[in-house]
Structure 1
Amino acid sequence: MTLLAFLFLLTLVPAGCVRSRHPPKAAISSPVFGPREVHGVKGGSVTVKCFYPPTPMNKHDRKYWCRQKGSSCLTVVSSDFVAAAYQGRVTLTDHPQENHFLVNISALEMSDAGTFQCGVGINGRGLSFRVTLSVAEAPPVPEDAELFYVKLRSTWTVTCSFGKETADMKKYLCKKEKDGCRNIINSYQSTDVPGGLQLVFEDTSGSFRVTMTQMDWEDAGLYYCGAGDYEKDDPKKELDVFIYEDKNFPHFKTNITGKVGGSASFECLYDPLLNDSSRFWCKQRGRQCGTTIIDNNGRVQDTYEGRVTMFENPENKTLTIILNQLQEKDKGTYWCMSNQLREQQSSTDLTVVPGEPSLTGKKVVKAQAGSRVNLTCCYPCKYYSYEKYWCRWSNTGCAMLPVQQQQGLPQPGDACEPNARTVVLSLDPVTEEDEGWYWCGVKRNGVFGETMAVELQMSEGTDANLIPEFLDVDSSHDPGAVPPGGAHSDAEVRKGAAPESSDESQGSNTLALVLGPLAGLILIAVTAFAIVKYRQLKRSDLVSVGSYRTNISMSDFESVRDFSASNSAKETHETSMGGDEFITTTTDTPDSAANTTKAKRSSKEEADLAYSSFLVTSSNIAQASSGGDSAVLDVPPPQDQA
Structure 2
Amino acid sequence: MTIGGCCDDADSPLLWILTSEITGQEGGAISIQCHHSEDFKFISKYWQRGLEWNSCETLTSVTFGEDQSQRSFPLSRSRLDMTDSGHYWCVGEYSEVKLGTPLELRVKASSLLWINDSVVTGIRGGMVSIRCHYTQDYKCYVKQWCKGEEWNSCEIVAQAMTWKVGDKVRLDDDESQDIFTVNVSALEMTDAGHYWCIMENNEVKLGTAVKLIVKEVLPSTETSTSGIPPTVQTSSDMPSLSHKEKAFISLAIMGSSLILFLALSIILKRYVTKMKGELYVIITTI
**TM-score, length-scaled by structure 1:** 0.27
- The verdict on how the C-alpha distance between 1:282 and 1:249 changes in structure 2, with shifts beyond 3 A counting, is closer
Q: Aligned-pair distance for 1:361? A: 0.7
Alignment pair present for 1:288 and 2:43: no
Work out whether residues 15 and 92 of structure 2, in 8 Å CA contact, stay in contact via their aligned partners in 1: no
Aligned positions, number:
216
Work out whether residues 362 and 454 of structure 1, in 8 Å CA contact, stay in contact via their aligned partners in 2: no
Determine the C-alpha separation between the residues in 2 that align with 1:213 and 1:258. Answer: 23
- The verdict on how the C-alpha distance between 1:381 and 1:285 changes in structure 2, with shifts beyond 3 A counting, is closer
Paired residues for 1:414-493 under 5 Å: 419-424=177-182, 426=184, 428-431=187-190, 434-436=192-194, 438-444=195-201, 446-449=202-205, 451-456=206-211
- The verdict on how the C-alpha distance between 1:275 and 1:245 changes in structure 2, with shifts beyond 3 A counting, is closer
Paired residues for 1:61-460 under 5 Å: 158=1, 211-214=2-5, 244-247=9-12, 251-253=16-18, 255-261=20-26, 263-270=29-36, 279-284=45-50, 287-292=54-59, 294-296=60-62, 314-315=69-70, 317-338=71-92, 340=94, 345-352=99-106, 354=108, 356-362=110-116, 364-365=118-119, 374-391=129-146, 392-394=148-150, 397-403=153-159, 404-406=170-172, 419-424=177-182, 426=184, 428-431=187-190, 434-436=192-194, 438-444=195-201, 446-449=202-205, 451-456=206-211
Higher relative contact order (CA 8 A, sep 6+): 2
The RMSD of aligned alpha carbons is 4.9
Work out whether residues 45 and 92 of structure 2, in 8 Å CA contact, stay in contact via their aligned partners in 1: yes
Work out whether residues 35 and 73 of structure 2, in 8 Å CA contact, stay in contact via their aligned partners in 1: yes
Determine the C-alpha separation between the residues in 2 that align with 1:402 and 1:285. Answer: 39
Determine the C-alpha separation between the residues in 1 that align with 2:20 and 2:40. Answer: 28
Work out whether residues 253 and 348 of structure 1, in 8 Å CA contact, stay in contact via their aligned partners in 2: no
Give secondary structure in 2 for the equivalent of 1:452. Answer: strand
Work out whether residues 30 and 77 of structure 2, in 8 Å CA contact, stay in contact via their aligned partners in 1: yes
Work out whether residues 393 and 399 of structure 1, in 8 Å CA contact, stay in contact via their aligned partners in 2: no
Radius of gyration: which is bigger? Answer: 1
Work out whether residues 264 and 324 of structure 1, in 8 Å CA contact, stay in contact via their aligned partners in 2: yes
Q: Aligned-pair distance for 1:396? A: 5.7
1:11-55 deviations in whole A, cap 9, x for unaligned? xxxxxxxxxxxxxxxxxxxxxxxxxxxxxxxxxxxxxxxxxxxxx
Give secondary structure in 1 for the equivalent of 2:145. Answer: strand
Work out whether residues 283 and 291 of structure 1, in 8 Å CA contact, stay in contact via their aligned partners in 2: yes
Q: 1:419 is matched by which residue type in structure 2?
A: Q
Work out whether residues 144 and 198 of structure 2, in 8 Å CA contact, stay in contact via their aligned partners in 1: yes
Q: Which runs of 5+ in 1 are unaligned?
A: 1-157, 159-210, 217-242, 298-311, 409-416, 459-469, 474-499, 505-509, 513-628, 637-642
Work out whether residues 15 and 101 of structure 2, in 8 Å CA contact, stay in contact via their aligned partners in 1: no
Work out whether residues 390 and 402 of structure 1, in 8 Å CA contact, stay in contact via their aligned partners in 2: yes
Determine the C-alpha separation between the residues in 1 that align with 2:9 and 2:209. Answer: 45
Q: 2:32 is matched by which residue type in structure 1?
A: F
Structure 1 runs of 4+ aligned residues shifted over 6 Å read: 271-277, 341-344
Determine the C-alpha separation between the residues in 1 that align with 2:18 and 2:139. Answer: 24
Paired residues for 1:31-50 under 5 Å: none
Q: Aligned-pair distance for 1:331? A: 2.1
Determine the C-alpha separation between the residues in 2 that align with 1:357 and 1:271. Answer: 35
Determine the C-alpha separation between the residues in 1 that align with 2:152 and 2:172. Answer: 30
Determine the C-alpha separation between the residues in 2 that align with 1:440 and 1:248. Answer: 34
Q: Aligned-pair distance for 1:631? A: 6.4
- The verdict on how the C-alpha distance between 1:285 and 1:443 changes in structure 2, with shifts beyond 3 A counting, is closer
Q: Aligned residues: percent identity?
A: 16
**TM-score, length-scaled by structure 2:** 0.52
Work out whether residues 32 and 203 of structure 2, in 8 Å CA contact, stay in contact via their aligned partners in 1: no
Work out whether residues 373 and 430 of structure 1, in 8 Å CA contact, stay in contact via their aligned partners in 2: no
